Structures are given as structure tokens and as C-alpha cells.
């Protein structure tokens, strides 16, 4: 039996490794095509490598092509798949280094092409110094540019995860940084505006100039290099521009082949990660559409956590086992300078769009006992369904030891707990780690009061 994998990062290689583990080299031949230079790497770690927190690029690579090959997976770097023929059960790839065309037949196909960065027309200009941050190759290009050109001014366009993380990386490299966000507050797709305002204030205090309601209209160049970013409020000098406007599923090749694509633009799969209605074709990672467990709606939430899980599920099923991916609740976390930001479940906007009536509760507490050295303030916001008190979502902003508390809240959302039930959670306590009433418990108590008052 032969498995062909399109995409050599988290989802694709997780699927290949699981299938190999279950069937062995004597029962399964695996060919994996990757258009870049790396396999199985942490794209989430790129900003921290560029910012100097991670010293070596190789630290981001979980498994090299050579390691995969020793495990019996035929990894072909710098090969871009350009066609899929479902009738002939065949893929066509271009050798980007040596030239020429390669054709490989398959019994099983894993489509794991990831996501593509959103790039407006005004950013598609032939100038050096303009970068996206999607692959490790992209990260390497930025790292090389910073070392070679020694830029002084950076403009980061987009205030989502990648934007704020890259803004921090540029500050750590000693650049003057301006972060442009078209919404009234940064991280507008991640947290509510009141929490976003806390983020804007905190990152501004770290030396990053944050400009909101900023609409970029163009990029000016000089001598083939970026010179400034143009907005209605004026032009901003820039020696390097980093695009952080989000991503969309890289599903065009699938759609051309007749593989179903959903309303979010991602490949539609069943719970076993099989492409909907197509035997032997699987999809996983940032290219797929999944289901939100609270709303039941199709969503596209590109995260490495999902990609690894989905790839594992696909590989188990290819190998003759049984596994499912139930869906997501949107749990995510990020850091910018000393600020931690996390969310799970639904924001107010998402809850309203899904038709929920809800109450909110926001509290400020400390990460440790107030008298213990190093205690820092954090803000927790909970969103609960009005009648039932079921926790619908949570957001956290804090300086230290704040963000990972989102995991307890994610478990509560996943298991449909009410905020009243959460007030009795048996959470750990010691002065170096938490106050006697953990911020999660304090927020749950306040949310419970809000639910009762709304009845």
C-alpha cells in the first residue's frame, strides 16, 4: 500500500509517522512532498527565534528530513505538488531545485498544505524587505535580512497573534517598531474590545507604538527596497515590513481536484479526518475546516495543536485503527514582551452571532498571594449563558503566571460546566503559586452573581 503526503510539517508528518508506526515499512510505502527546506518544525516558535529567545534555528525542528527518512518515509524537499488526479489516484509535483515533473500514484493521500498568508494587492510588489511569517523558510529570510541590512525601523501590519509576536521580536532586536491595526483595538479576532484595550495599553508601555483604526493603502519603495508604509494618516518610514494580516486555508489545489471545500475555505472532512465522501483521501492541519463544539458551526482556526492532533487521527485511521477529532473551542495563548494573553470558547461577538443570551464578569486579581514576592495583577473575563450559567468563553490578560490558567477554563468550557459549578473547583493553593482564592474562582463567583441577577 502506498501513502502520499502533501506537506511536510505538523499535520502531514504526524499522519505519516502514525501510519508507519501501525503498518511498518513492509506494508506501507510513504512519499512526502514538501516545497520548503524543512520538515516537522514549530512555526509558532519563529518569532521567538527572530527575537533571540531561541538561539538556534535547529531548535525549532522536531524531526529533520533525514530522521524521517531513517524511519522509512521518503521525504522530498523542494517539491511542490501542482496537481491531484483522483480518478488515476496520482499526484503531480514540480522539482523546484532540479526542475522537471514527478508523478506518484497513491492508495491513500494526506492533504496537509497548511494555510496561506493574506496578502493585499498593495503588498504584492517586487521589493525587498517585505515579509510574511508562515513557514520556517519565511523566518529564515527575515533573520537573514535583519543580520545583513541592520534595519532601524520596523512596521508590523496586523495586530493579531503573529503581529504582536513579531512586534515583540523586532523590539528585542533593538528596532523602533510601529504596529498597525485596522480595528479599534489589537487582537480584535481573539479577544473582546475591552480586553484588547488592556493589550494595547500594555504593549505600548513596552515601547511599541500601536496605531489602531489604521488602514494601509500602499507601500513605497526606493532602490528595490521598502521605504515607507502609506496610510491615510501619513507615511511611516520602514526599513522592514512584516505582514500579519491573518491566513486562509491553502485549499485551491484540493478544490481543483474535486475535494470538497467548505464555507470557511477549508477542506471538509469527517470526524476521522477523511475528505468528505472520498475514500482514501485525508486532510489535516491549517488547510481544513473543523467544527466549533459550542456553536456547531464550521470554523477555521489554524493552530499547531489542532494540526498535530488531526494528523495523528488521520494516520491512525490510515493504519487500520480508529480515531476521531471532535472539534475545537478556540483555546489559544500568546505573549508580547511581559504581557500574556489567552482565550477559550466564545468572545462576546461570537456568542452573540451564535444566538446566545449571556452575561459577563470581569475581575482583577493577583497571580500569587498578595504578600508573596512577584505577585502580579491579571484580568479575567468570563462569558456565561444567561439562563443556564454555562461557561461560554473566557479571556485572560496578565504579566506573569496568568495565561496558562486558561487551560482550567478550557476544560470547563469543553465539559459544559456552569460558572456556579466552577466556584467549587478544587484548585491548588500555595502562596508562591496562587492566592487562597484563585483568580479563576473569583471570576466564577462574580459570573455566578451575574447569572442570578439576570434571572
Q: Is 337 a catalytic residue?
A: no
- Beta-strand relationship, 377-385 and 391-398: antiparallel
What's the distance, CA 374 to chain centroid?
A: 30
Q: Taking Cα atoms as reference points, which of 330, 262, 265, 342 lies closest to residue 294?
A: 330
Residue listed under C-alpha cell 514582551: 337
DSSP characters over 302-362: --HHHHHHHHHHHHHHHTT-------B---EEEEETTEEEEEEE--HHHHHHTT--EEEEE
Asked if residues 209 and 177 have their Cβ atoms less than 8 Å apart, the reply is: yes
On whether the CB atoms of residues 175 and 152 are closer than 8 A, the answer is yes
Query: Rounded to an integer, what distance in angstroms lies between the CA atom of residue 282 and that of residue 291?
Result: 16
Q: How many CA atoms lie within 13 A of 327 on its CB side?
A: 13
Instruction: Give how far Cα 449 sits from Cα of 74, 411, 445, Å.
Output: 59, 21, 6
The single residue of 1, 44, 102, 237 carrying the catalytic annotation is 44
Catalytic residues: 44
Amino acid at each position: 500500500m502506498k501513502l502520499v503526503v502533501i506537506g511536510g510539517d505538523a499535520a502531514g508528518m504526524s499522519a505519516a509517522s502514525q501510519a508507519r508506526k501501525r503498518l511498518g515499512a513492509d506494508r506501507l510505502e510513504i512519499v512526502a512532498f514538501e516545497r520548503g527546506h524543512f520538515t516537522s518544525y514549530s512555526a509558532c516558535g519563529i518569532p521567538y527565534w527572530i527575537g533571540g529567545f531561541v538561539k538556534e534555528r535547529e531548535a525549532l525542528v522536531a524531526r529533520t528530513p533525514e530522521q524521517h527518512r531513517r524511519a522509512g518515509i521518503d521525504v522530498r524537499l523542494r517539491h511542490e505538488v501542482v496537481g491531484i488526479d483522483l480518478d488515476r489516484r496520482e499526484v503531480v509535483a514540480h522539482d523546484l531545485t532540479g526542475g522537471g515533473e514527478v508523478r506518484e500514484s497513491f492508495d491513500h493521500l494526506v492533504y496537509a498544505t497548511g494555510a496561506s498568508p493574506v496578502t493585499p494587492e498593495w503588498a504584492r510588489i517586487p521589493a525587498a524587505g517585505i515579509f510574511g511569517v508562515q513557514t520556517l523558510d519565511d523566518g529564515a529570510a527575515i533573520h537573514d535580512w535583519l543580520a545583513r541590512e541592520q534595519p532601524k525601523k520596523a512596521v508590523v501590519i496586523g495586530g493579531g497573534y503573529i503581529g504582536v509576536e513579531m512586534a515583540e521580536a523586532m523590539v528585542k532586536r533593538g528596532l523602533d517598531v510601529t504596529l498597525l491595526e485596522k480595528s479599534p483595538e489589537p487582537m480584535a479576532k481573539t479577544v473582546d474590545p475591552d480586553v484588547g484595550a488592556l493589550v494595547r495599553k500594555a504593549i505600548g508601555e513596552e515601547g511599541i507604538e500601536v496605531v489602531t483604526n489604521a488602514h494601509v493603502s500602499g507601500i513605497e519603495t526606493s532602490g528595490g527596497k521598502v521605504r515607507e508604509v502609506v496610510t491615510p494618516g501619513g507615511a511611516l518610514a520602514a526599513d522592514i515590513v512584516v505582514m500579519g494580516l491573518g491566513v486562509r486555508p491553502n485549499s485551491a489545489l484540493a478544490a481543483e481536484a474535486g475535494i470538497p471545500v467548505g464555507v470557511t475555505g477549508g477542506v471538509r472532512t469527517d470526524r476521522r479526518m477523511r475528505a468528505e465522501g472520498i475514500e482514501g483521501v485525508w486532510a489535516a492541519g491549517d488547510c481544513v475546516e473543523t467544527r466549533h463544539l459550542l456553536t456547531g458551526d464550521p470554523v477555521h482556526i489554524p493552530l499547531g495543536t489542532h494540526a498535530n492532533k488531526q494528523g495523528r487521527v488521520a494516520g491512525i485511521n490510515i493504519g487500520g485503527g480508529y480515531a476521531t477529532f471532535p472539534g475545537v473551542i478556540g483555546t489559544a495563548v500568546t505573549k508580547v514582551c511581559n504581557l500574556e494573553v489567552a482565550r477559550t470558547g466564545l468572545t462576546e461577538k461570537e456568542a452573540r452571532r451564535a444566538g446566545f443570551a449571556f452575561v459577563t464578569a470581569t475581575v482583577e486579581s493577583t497571580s500569587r498571594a498578595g504578600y508573596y514576592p512577584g505577585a502580579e495583577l491579571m484580568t479575567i473575563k468570563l462569558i456565561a449563558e444567561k439562563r443556564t450559567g454555562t461557561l461560554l468563553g473566557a479571556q485572560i490578560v496578565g504579566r506573569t503566571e496568568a495565561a496558562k490558567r486558561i487551560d482550567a477554563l478550557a476544560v470547563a468550557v469543553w465539559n459544559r460546566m456552569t460558572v456556579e459549578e466552577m466556584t467549587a473547583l478544587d484548585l491548588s493553593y500555595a502562596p508562591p503559586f496562587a492566592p487562597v482564592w484563585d483568580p479563576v474562582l473569583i471570576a466564577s463567583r462574580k459570573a455566578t452573581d451575574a447569572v442570578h441577577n439576570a434571572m
